[in-house]
Amino acid sequence: MSIIDKIFKLLYLTSRQNLIYKIYEKHLTSQINQFPFPQHIGIILDGNRRWSKIMDIDKAKGHQMGADIAEDLLNWIYDLGIRITTVYVLSNENLSRETNELENIYSLLEDKLIGLYNDKRIHEKQIRVKSIGEFNILPKRLQDILRKLETRTEKYENMYLNIAIAYGGQKELIDAIRKIAMLAKENKIGIDDIDEKVIEANLYTAHLPQAEPDLILRTSGEKRLSGFLLWQSAYSELIFVDIFWPEFRKIDLMRAIRTFQKRARRYGK
C-alpha cells in the first residue's frame, strides 16, 4: 500500500469514527432532553499528571491538554444550557507542588482566563464568572484577570461559572465561621440566630441562586471529593468516571447527566 493509500485509509477511518460519535451524541441528546437537567453541576478536573505519565509525555503537555478540554467544557455547557457550573481547577494543597509545574499551570490559567474575558458568549449569554478560593495567595497577574472577569460580569444572572482555584472546603468553612464570629462579636447577630441560612450566606458560593450542586462529577477514577464544596455537597449526586480529564468528551458529560436523571433523589427522606 502506497503512502497516499495509507493517508486516505486513515482519513476514512477518522471520518467514520467522527460519524459514529455524532450519531451517538445525537442519540444521547434525544435521551437527556426528555428529563430535567441538573441546575448546578460541580466538576473535579482530575488526572492530568497521571494521563501524561501513561502517555509518556511531559507533565506540562498533560496540563495543556487538560486546559484545552476545560475550554471545550465551556462550549458544552453553553450548548446544553447548564445554568450553574463549578469547576475544581486547583486545590490549596496543590500549591505545594514544584515551582516549575505551578508556574506552567498559572500560565495556562492566565491564557484561558484572558480568552474567557474576550469571549463574546459570556456577554451574549449573560454568564457571571467568579473565582472561589484563597484569591489573595494567587499570583498578581491571575488576581488581575480574575478581578476583571468578576467585575465585568458581576451583574449577569442568566448563567454562572465558578472557578475553584486555590480552593479548599475546610478553609471555606473556617472563613465562614470567622465571618459569623465577627458578626456575633459586633452584636449584628445573636448566637441563636446562627442557622443553615446564616452559614450559607457566608460561604464562597453565597452569590449563587443555588449553591448546592445537583451533580458532582470527578474524572480519573478517584472516588472522593477531596474537600470540594463540603457543605454544599450534602445531598449532591456523585458520579465518578474512570477516564482522565484530558480524555473527557462531551458524550461523557451527557452520560453523567443521563445517569443523574435516572436516580431518585430523596434528600434523606
Q: What is the pLDDT of residues 174-195, one digit of tens each?
A: 999 999 999 999 999 999 999 9
Residue 59 assigned as binding residue:
yes
At residue 14, the pLDDT reads: 54
Find out whether 69 and 245 touch, Cβ atoms under 8 Å: yes
Find out whether 258 and 36 touch, Cβ atoms under 8 Å: no
CA distances from 153 to 87, 120, 143, 157 (A): 17, 12, 15, 9
What does the angle CA 130 – CA 88 – CA 232 come to, to the nearest 5 degrees? 80
Give the start-to-end residue ranges of the domains of the chain.
1-34, 37-262
What backbone phi and psi angles, to 5 degrees, belong to 241?
A: -115, 150
Please indicate whether residue 46 is annotated as part of the active site. yes
d(CA 10, CA 97): 40
Q: Give the predicted TM-score (pTM) of the model.
A: 0.91
What backbone phi and psi angles, to 5 degrees, belong to 160?
A: -135, 135
- DSSP 8-class letter at 221: T
What backbone phi and psi angles, to 5 degrees, belong to 197?
A: -65, -40
Q: What is the pLDDT of residues 111-121, one digit of tens each?
A: 999 999 999 88
- DSSP 8-class letter at 42: E
Residue 236 assigned as binding residue:
no
Q: What is the average per-residue pLDDT within 19-42?
A: 91
User: CB 155: neighbour CB atoms within 10 A?
Assistant: 8
d(CA 35, CA 32): 6
Of 94, 111, 119, 175, the active-site residue reads: 94
Q: Which residue has the cell 458544552?
A: 76
Find out whether 149 and 113 touch, Cβ atoms under 8 Å: yes
Residue 264 makes CB contacts below 8 A (sequence gap 6+) with none
Of 18, 33, 46, 118, the active-site residue reads: 46
Residue 190 assigned as binding residue:
no
Residue 46 assigned as binding residue:
yes
Q: What is the average per-residue pLDDT within 70-95?
A: 93
Domain range 37-262, CATH class: alpha beta
pLDDT band at 74 (very low <50, low <70, confident <90, very high): confident
What does the angle CA 195 – CA 43 – CA 88 come to, to the nearest 5 degrees? 75
Please indicate whether residue 33 is annotated as part of the active site. no
At residue 264, the pLDDT reads: 83
At residue 13, the pLDDT reads: 45
Residue 188 assigned as binding residue:
no
Q: What is the average per-residue pLDDT within 30-57?
A: 94
| Cell numbers for 103 | 508556574
3-state secondary structure of 180: helix
